[in-house]
Structure 1
Amino acid sequence: MQLLSSQITGFIENSSWIRKMFESGIALKKQYGADAVCDFSLGNPDVPAPAMIEDILTDLAKETNKPFTFGYMPNGGFPWARQIIADLVKKEQGVEITADDAVLTCGAAGAMNAFFRAVMEPGDEVLAVAPFFVEYGFYTSNHQATFRTVMSKPDTFELDVDAIDAAITPKTRALIINSPNNPTGAVYTKEELTELAAVLEKHTKANGRPVYLIADEPYRFLAFDGVEVPSILPLYDYAVVMSSFSKNLSMAGERVGYIALSPRMKDRGQLINGLMLTNRILGFVNPPVVGQHMLKAALDAQVDPSIYERRRDAMAKVLSNAGYDFHLPKGAFYFFPKAPGGDDVTFCNRLMEEKILAVPGTGFGGPGYFRLTFCVEEEVINRSAEGFKRAIESLA
């Protein structure tokens, strides 16, 4: 008896390498103890949320005089929460937007699914710059569209705008970029993005309908060494920012995110109305009530980025001393080194023998590399040094 659709069966069989390695880590920790395993598999922020998160939860639990309800609200979130998002985007993107240009969602994943449901026709295409966050492909398939990728430049992971230009077809409805990038740590420059915007504008005019530029930005707050994360909304009429508060407020489990549209977009009110509808009919109903109150309290007090910068430097030292070939990440909390020997799956299995958990780059559309997260304590990073050395020396 077939209980699942063939598509979902296929998704399960090809499920995320991140989860596979995470589950392997659970087994290793049971066998050897958590202190013996160096787990760099899951990008789950471990830095505590700002203190005022606890304060707002305490106030809500005590039922203070603050106006609060668990009831239904407008599909796009509380009006005051939409205004908060508009003010945030105005500050980050340097554009004049209003609350009417933003919608609260159930995380960035909910935002992307609501957007695709609103704009996709069966048979449309979504492009993503590879390496990429693996679930983009699943979100695309949810809406009867085809997912395709365009590789970034080798090793530096810069945008290959010429390759993107060549990959766009009349069926292309959207291009996803993620900067700072998961898994590479790359941050695209304003020059790259300006060139990209010109290419998308050309195809939008030729195709007679928008090619949307989706900027997935949960790591915007986390760039190192003074690197600028350029604003995308001023560069292109059909730019869309999607983000969440999973990383900058360490609220990954609360699932609060948003969509904001470029104020240059014509008829954007029509798209906002569509997002209001799809935000509901996909079953999300409304963004979490408690989460909206939490972000209101903590938005100006994000986690300390210097914690991650120290961890990045510690990981770079470990990898350099062991002889790995890698590009120093400019943002986010990931390294994406080359896999010694070239086979990323085999090498990640070799690391597991050293009780080190990494994720094969194959899972991100980047075979020949592997991903390491550094959202773990420095002690774990430093403890991994000898294991990394033994693993690479075993291939010499």
Structure 2
Amino acid sequence: MSASPASRRAQEVASIPSLRRINEFLGNSTYSRRQHVPGICDFTLGNPHQMPQDAYVDALREALAPQNDQWFAYKTNVAEARAAAANGLRRLLGVPFEPEDLYLTTGGFTAIALALKAVADPGDEVVYSLPPWFLYEPLAVEAGLVPVKVRINPETFDLDLAAIEAAITPRTRVVIINSPNNPTGRIYPPELLQRLATLLDEASGRIGRRIYLVSDEPYNRIVFDGARFHSPVEFYPYTLLAYSYGKTHLAPGERIGYLALPPTMPDRKELGTAVGAMQLAMGWIFPNAVLQYALPRLEEFSIDVGQLQRKRDRLVEELGRMGYRLRPPEGTFYLFIHSPIADDEAFTEALSREDVFVLPGVLFETPGFFRMSLTASEDMVERSLPAFAAAIERTAN
């Protein structure tokens, strides 16, 4: 008789080292004990540290007012929401998405889980690059899939295509990429995406089964310096695109996103039928009614990207002057910075004693770095600079 009341899969998920580290950081750390103390400098998560935009609040308030007796009834993929989201993708990417190509979800997180379960069977392999968004492995393991990890180029933060190719086996079903990338801030250029598409097409032929690409794109509108974002859907038709409005509006607690199948995907109608069925089977993962009603207005604006860029520029300049090694991010909310000492956990713990909180690189399976979120307030940025200066000076002595 089993001694544990938990299923084997639940035990396997709970035992993932990166997940255990995250849970420890969020539940039993200096940060967890002081995160709500006034005056700290919080650069940990992509959470807001200023009041939300009036336009965002107004959109939700308007959507909340019922217009008929079915306003709060069960909702699946509301037609107006789908159409607005498809129009937004067409404007951003120049790809002719249709409303029926989009499947609305409770955030981009669920869109990734939906994509994995729609195309992969238990035992299939999922390839992704390190440093990753730290929940790819739990999502894969929960779906019964096998994570296969490769490293990025540590100098350019680009994908290591040779490493991806070497990792592909007859069991490979999915490759996940994330651009603009969390945590590095890298936007993968079109020539790299084209080479990746060629690699995956040739590998699919070699192993005799189609390899799908899951493109995790919650930051595709958070780009700096006038950069043009390119999505893998422009180059590889077997791409499933996951998106979240929680990043675009810095409202991660309001869960709405979608999974999109490009119009170039062969047999997308058949796959779409399976995706629609999984939306119900995974626990009615459609966004709630109010957020779906608000979506057409949410497509009209975003957070102030210029303000994020100003904070990026300030931190890159000041931290670089102090001696920190970092590449300016091209998008996202984050800076991914070399720790001045090898033990990034010890360095981030030393910062925490000054009430400056960042995430150590080990949470991203990349020791020797730390991540800062640009969603910290401008006041936090300025107050943190003396602590960063003192911290790196201590390492030189």
Q: Same fold (TM over 0.5)?
A: yes
Partner of 2:297: 297
Residues 1:315 and 1:22: Cα distance change in structure 2 (over 3 Å): farther
CA contact (8 A) 1:126 1:147 kept: yes
Shift in Å, 1:240: 1.6
CA contact (8 A) 2:212 2:239 kept: yes
Mapped to 2, the partners of 1:62 and 1:189 lie a distance apart of 43
CA contact (8 A) 2:115 2:240 kept: no
Q: For 1:230-379, what aligned pairs fall within 5 Å after superposition?
A: 230-379=230-379
Secondary structure of 1:214's counterpart equals strand
Partner of 1:51: 54
Question: Identity, % of aligned pairs?
Answer: 33
Question: Deviation digits for residues 279-306 of structure 1, max 9, x if unmatched?
Answer: 1111134221111112222211211210
Partner of 1:210: 210
Shift in Å, 1:55: 2.5
Partner of 1:88: 88
Secondary structure of 2:253's counterpart equals helix
Residues 1:29 and 1:286: Cα distance change in structure 2 (over 3 Å): closer
Residue 77 of structure 2 corresponds to residue 71 of structure 1: no
Residue type of the alignment partner of 2:322: A
Mapped to 2, the partners of 1:290 and 1:61 lie a distance apart of 6
Residue 46 of structure 2 corresponds to residue 40 of structure 1: no
Partner of 1:28: 34
Residue type of the alignment partner of 1:8: A
TM-score norm. by structure 1 comes to 0.92
Partner of 1:127: 127
CA contact (8 A) 1:224 1:309 kept: yes
CA contact (8 A) 1:185 1:329 kept: yes
Shift in Å, 1:277: 0.8
Mapped to 1, the partners of 2:246 and 2:154 lie a distance apart of 29
Mapped to 2, the partners of 1:246 and 1:262 lie a distance apart of 22
Shift in Å, 1:26: 3.8
Question: Deviation digits for residues 73-131 of structure 1, max 9, x if unmatched?
Answer: 33xx1122112222122222211221221111111111111122221112101111211
Secondary structure of 1:118's counterpart equals helix
Secondary structure of 1:254's counterpart equals coil
Secondary structure of 1:394's counterpart equals helix
Question: Deviation digits for residues 176-206 of structure 1, max 9, x if unmatched?
Answer: 1111111111111001111111000101122
Question: Deviation digits for residues 48-71 of structure 1, max 9, x if unmatched?
Answer: 5443333343334544x4786111
Q: For 1:158-173, what aligned pairs fall within 5 Å after superposition?
A: 158-173=158-173
Residues 1:282 and 1:62: Cα distance change in structure 2 (over 3 Å): closer
CA contact (8 A) 1:86 1:97 kept: yes
Residues 1:386 and 1:20: Cα distance change in structure 2 (over 3 Å): farther
CA contact (8 A) 2:122 2:145 kept: yes
Once structures 1 and 2 are overlaid, which stretch shifts more, 15-24 or 339-348? 15-24
Residue type of the alignment partner of 2:42: D
Shift in Å, 1:319: 1.2
Partner of 2:198: 198
Secondary structure of 2:233's counterpart equals coil
Number of residue pairs the alignment of both structures matches: 390
Shift in Å, 1:270: 0.9
Partner of 1:393: 393
Structure 2: gaps (5+ residues): none
Residues 1:389 and 1:20: Cα distance change in structure 2 (over 3 Å): farther
Residues 1:27 and 1:180: Cα distance change in structure 2 (over 3 Å): same
Mapped to 2, the partners of 1:91 and 1:270 lie a distance apart of 26
Residue type of the alignment partner of 1:79: A
Shift in Å, 1:343: 1.7
Once structures 1 and 2 are overlaid, which stretch shifts more, 107-116 or 132-141? 107-116
Residues 1:261 and 1:333: Cα distance change in structure 2 (over 3 Å): same
Structure 1: gaps (5+ residues): none
Shift in Å, 1:220: 0.8
Partner of 1:110: 110
Secondary structure of 2:232's counterpart equals coil
Secondary structure of 2:340's counterpart equals coil
Mapped to 1, the partners of 2:70 and 2:186 lie a distance apart of 41
Residues 1:199 and 1:61: Cα distance change in structure 2 (over 3 Å): closer
Residue type of the alignment partner of 1:73: K
TM-score norm. by structure 2 comes to 0.92
Once structures 1 and 2 are overlaid, which stretch shifts more, 12-21 or 142-151? 12-21
Shift in Å, 1:228: 1.9
Residue type of the alignment partner of 1:207: I
Residues 1:56 and 1:2: Cα distance change in structure 2 (over 3 Å): same
Mapped to 1, the partners of 2:69 and 2:52 lie a distance apart of 23
Secondary structure of 1:250's counterpart equals coil
